[in-house]
Structure 1
């Protein structure tokens, strides 16, 4: 390793530089967002015929359209709408699958402000009709990702609606979820956790 001028290899300054370099390597993979990881995983599953799961497009409300010429239209003003359903849906092993993906920088809890009531209602309807429903939660400060089955999430949500906690504690997420391991292809193999919870347990 090359050191700045006047820095001896055994000095405290050199040790600090080494720690900074190590930190750059260790945290270099954290720039990839949860959504990007899941999109790559879904493409991997699709290409190998394992599942058909897609991200739902965010609805947009168009307000103004300009027509600079007869054959051309240009959107000059539009707004993102609040999604009325969850983020991802599709088919896996003959079952409908539906899930929400959320990322938080909070170290101690997952705040319910990150999810909308109508999204929970939609997931509850899918769950009631026999779908596989869950929430994927990433605690970005720890670089840890969990699959929380909807039936376990619902317990905390109903408590929240009855003036309970406004969040799920990090420790409770760890207890009630399946940890999603990271790899290369796919980076997040969340279907392995689906197999473990929904199929290997006899569901």
Structure 2
């Protein structure tokens, strides 16, 4: 099925300022990465968080406008072409401990950097707006060849994005990601325990607020 953004641009699926590096687990479980896509792993993790009443986070539904439909059988209809009614923003949003959570999930086979072309202007601007209203925004990055996961805060992504628009780097160096991002190790339940990193972000934000009131 062909799905496109408004204006006809093709949609590319995600499946294809103090910061600190943080290791969220000491050892990777041997069952890591059983062939699931990043989206499936995050969805599974969100199911676990909801079941355990830890957080309510969902993948955002995106309304589409159907353009072409084929009927190979009388009892079945197959959508062959559709358009997003509005440009997609980020993949997931919800609530955790009273904080609005909004994030995107991306992966690459590149071993040395994460290409910024994997992001869209409207996604970055959406995160910029959410941050301005107190939301916690980030990107879960997977280097599939290395089988490593990181949480990149949106504030950092925006810095790289704005620099790119000024003829700067068109990618984020892996070395920089290692130094400044939260590394997430695979778990069992949840599969991707990304809220451990979010918890550290919340602690930092609350500590900053206390300093402001001193």
Match of 2:137 in 1: 133
The answer to whether the Cα contact below 8 Å between 2:68 and 2:82 also exists between their aligned partners in 1 is: no
Structure 1 residue 32 corresponds to structure 2 residue 22: no
Which of 104, 109, 118 is the aligned partner of 1:105?
A: 109
The answer to whether the Cα contact below 8 Å between 1:107 and 1:139 also exists between their aligned partners in 2 is: yes
The answer to whether the Cα contact below 8 Å between 1:62 and 1:75 also exists between their aligned partners in 2 is: no
The answer to whether the Cα contact below 8 Å between 2:141 and 2:149 also exists between their aligned partners in 1 is: yes
Cα distance in structure 2, aligned partners of 1:47 and 1:27: 22
Match of 1:147 in 2: 151
Match of 2:81 in 1: 78
Give the superposed CA RMSD.
2.4
Cα distance in structure 2, aligned partners of 1:49 and 1:163: 45
Larger Rg: 1
| Number of positions where the alignment pairs a residue of Structure 1 with one of Structure 2 | 176
Alpha-carbon shift at residue 61 of structure 1 (Å): 2.6
Match of 2:180 in 1: 176
The answer to whether the Cα contact below 8 Å between 1:156 and 1:168 also exists between their aligned partners in 2 is: yes
Structure 1 residues without counterparts, runs of 5 or longer: 1-25
Match of 1:46 in 2: 50
Give the TM-score normalised by the residue count of structure 1.
Answer: 0.78
Cα distance in structure 2, aligned partners of 1:114 and 1:95: 27
Alpha-carbon shift at residue 41 of structure 1 (Å): 0.6
Cα distance in structure 1, aligned partners of 2:127 and 2:205: 21
Match of 1:163 in 2: 167
Cα distance in structure 1, aligned partners of 2:146 and 2:68: 43
Which has the bigger relative contact order, CA under 8 A and spacing at least 6?
2
The answer to whether the Cα contact below 8 Å between 2:106 and 2:142 also exists between their aligned partners in 1 is: yes
The answer to whether the Cα contact below 8 Å between 1:180 and 1:188 also exists between their aligned partners in 2 is: yes
Q: Residues 76, 114 of structure 1: CA spacing in aligned structure 2 closer, same or farther, 3 A cutoff?
A: closer
Cα distance in structure 2, aligned partners of 1:98 and 1:79: 26
